[in-house]
Amino acid sequence: MSTTPPASRRLLVVILCALALALSCSRGIAAVSSVAGDDAAFLRCLWAAVPQRLVHTRGSPSYAAALVSSVRNLRFVAPGTPTPLAIVAAAEASHAQAAVRCGRRHGVRVRARSGGHDYEGLSYMSLDRRERFAVLDLAALREVRVDAERAEAWVGSGATLGELYYAVGAASRTLAFPAGICPTVGVGGHISGGGFGTLMRQYGLAADNVLDAVLVDADGQLLNRTTMGEDLFWAIRGGGGESFGVVLSWKLRLIRVPETVTVFTIRRARNQSATDLITKWQEISPSLPGDIILRVVVQSHHAQFESLFLGRCSRLARLMRARFPELGMTQSDCEEITWVQSTVYFAFYSSSEPLELLLDRGTKPDRYFKAKSDYVQEPIPSHIWESTWAWLEEHDAGLLILDPYGGEMARVSPAATPFPHRKGNLYNLQYYSFWFEHGAGTLEKHLSWVKGLYNVMGPYVSKNPRTGYVNYRDIDLGRNEIEGNVTSYTKGRIWGEKYFKGNFERLAAVKAMVDPDDFFRNEQSIPPLPAAKGWSSI
Ligand code: FDA
């Protein structure tokens, strides 16, 4: 039988293809005709370079699902939230380049979104109703390539931490990557802001372990470490997402861990001396050896001590007996598992859950939340901890998360990356409120709880400035204002020095160098340093 279609069938195929093309174009034209002038030009520009099925416009049936696909916070999908003109679901680098070039040409800003976990929703919504913007969604750019022999990996920004951990664990039982705890967090935003987790005390931040990156700059060009230069490479490793370009992928240094690591979780109630334990913990945990982390989550009536140790249970139990006997940890509290199982353990509080849970990205938000953060440099007195119980008991939906620094975190110079919270910081303190219900007064109740507790803690945390962690973005710290056509440096310093301290000025100088027109902009993006100020080392 011949495989060549007869001429009549070939003609039919050609006609059907032409019809399909005409139909898809006419859908595009219909959608374009319903949007304003420049917006339509932007969409036409996009469609010349990106397949239409990857561009979700307000009129298309796929738009709502595409918008919420990686959103974590219900607060920012409430009716009335300003939405993007389009969501561009990039499937290759050229799509991201086209989004930037078309956006620049037609005055549509591009907000990059990797995992959508931004605490203030800035990767997919704007607080300015007049802003014309599109979301550049990178979720499809999530390949992870591990080179176990060289202990390196390339990871697409759209991968989640869970996908990265799964791939590293599948390649080797003795390789790991030091990054955050929640597996659905996106690699793109996380590394851009620093990224800390259970391995930070031995290996530092995720951003400390980046070897190279591929970035789309404000001209739509693809750059790597060599072509972007060391100033820009410095800025993207902790200077916060969005400001300098869109990072498409990162080359990571993987770290070596023992085949067996140990975890434990010990819960102590308020009436079981939890206050004394937290008070003591503040002095002990930042000075423990780097291969152990002991963090605390405090909620309503109890404090939960959670630990990962890069070694066996017997050694850990000896160490805890010697350094923190009051906790009463014994070998029966331990579980010995692999590092990748420990990532499941910290996410789901059980090591027996399947590793495949790490691959579950989720498809829509399930809760509302608001958080704020502080750095603690002197132990907070016991009577203050005692008084926080009243706050926590009043509000079942509130948590305090205490992540100890010290170890490698204190050894890295505060100027090595934009993340300045190194030596001298005992721990990061996060105030977190989450809720599921909506209705009159609910939002205000939760916001005022977080703000109230944050205010009460003011005298006991870092000062001048009172610092916070950019990945725990907090819009209350300040919001950009536009002067002329660009973001005001003077106004930006108000929030910027809280996240970046002395590194803010260098970040602004890099911004002036790589994006002087301030195309990559959001409510807390780095402003360009005004020319008059200059900056000597650039
Ligand atoms: P998202 O896509 O929302 O982006 C965040 C910001 O980065 C936005 O401004 C965005 O425009 C920009 N951006 C995103 N991708 C970019 C790219 N490819 N190039 C340039 N800019 C980009 N942090 C931590 O250090 N340790 C932890 O354990 C946790 N745990 C945690 C749990 C939960 C439930 C949440 C919601 C968050 C955390 N975080 C955290 C905070 C987390 O690191 C922070 O929210 C990250 O910015 C999230 O990155 P995403 O890519 O998911 O966010």
Residue 3 Cα to ligand 1 midpoint, Å, equals: 52
Query: Which CATH code is given to the segment(s) 144-256?
Result: 3.30.465.10
CA of 321 to the centre of ligand 1 (A): 37
CA 199 – ligand 1 centroid, Å: 18
Q: Which residues contact 233 (CB under 8 A, 6 or more apart)?
A: 213, 225
* Ligand 1 contact via 198 beta carbon (within 6 Å): no
430: Cβ below 6 Å to ligand 1? Answer: no
pLDDT tens series, the chain, 538 aa: 333 334 443 333 333 333 333 333 333 333 444 556 689 999 999 999 999 999 999 989 999 999 999 899 999 988 889 999 999 999 999 999 999 999 999 999 999 999 999 999 999 999 999 999 999 999 999 999 999 999 999 999 999 999 999 999 999 999 999 999 999 999 999 999 999 999 999 999 999 999 999 999 999 999 999 999 999 999 999 999 999 999 999 999 999 999 999 999 999 999 889 999 999 999 999 999 999 999 999 999 999 999 999 999 999 999 999 999 999 999 999 999 999 999 999 999 888 899 999 999 987 888 999 999 999 999 999 999 999 999 999 888 899 999 999 999 999 999 999 999 999 999 999 999 999 988 889 999 999 999 999 999 999 999 999 999 999 999 999 999 999 999 999 999 999 999 999 999 999 999 999 999 999 999 999 999 998 566 655 5
Residue 22, both tokens: 């005409």
Angstrom distance (rounded) from CA 121 to CA 82: 11
Domain ranges of the chain: 36-137, 144-256, 261-337+367-469
In a mutational test of the pocket of ligand 1, which residue from 114, 308, 432, 487 has the highest number of ligand atoms less than 8 Å from its CB? 114
* Closest residue to atom 35 of ligand 1, CA basis: 117
State the Cα torsion 238-242-243-245 to the nearest 10°: 100
The answer to whether the CB of 190 is under 6 A from ligand 1 is: yes
CATH classification number, 261-337+367-469, choose in 3.40.50.300, 3.40.50.2300, 3.40.462.20, 3.90.1150.10: 3.40.462.20
Confirm or reject: Cβ of 183 under 6 Å from ligand 1: no
Q: Is 117 in the pocket of ligand 1 (CB under 6 A)?
A: yes
Q: Give the distance (Å) from ligand 1 centre to CA of residue 161.
A: 10
Closest C-alpha residue for ligand 1 atom 36: 117
Using an 8 Å Cβ cutoff, are 335 and 349 in contact?
no
Say how far apart CA 321 and CA 335 lie, in whole Å: 17
Q: Is 263 in the pocket of ligand 1 (CB under 6 A)?
A: no
CATH 3.30.43.10 fits 36-137, yes or no: yes
Decide whether any atom of ligand 1 lies within 6 Å of the 112 Cβ. Answer: yes
Among 75, 88, 123, 409, which is best to mutate for testing ligand 1, by the most ligand atoms less than 8 A from CB?
123
Q: Structure pTM?
A: 0.93
**Measured distance CA(519)–CA(245) in Å, rounded:** 9
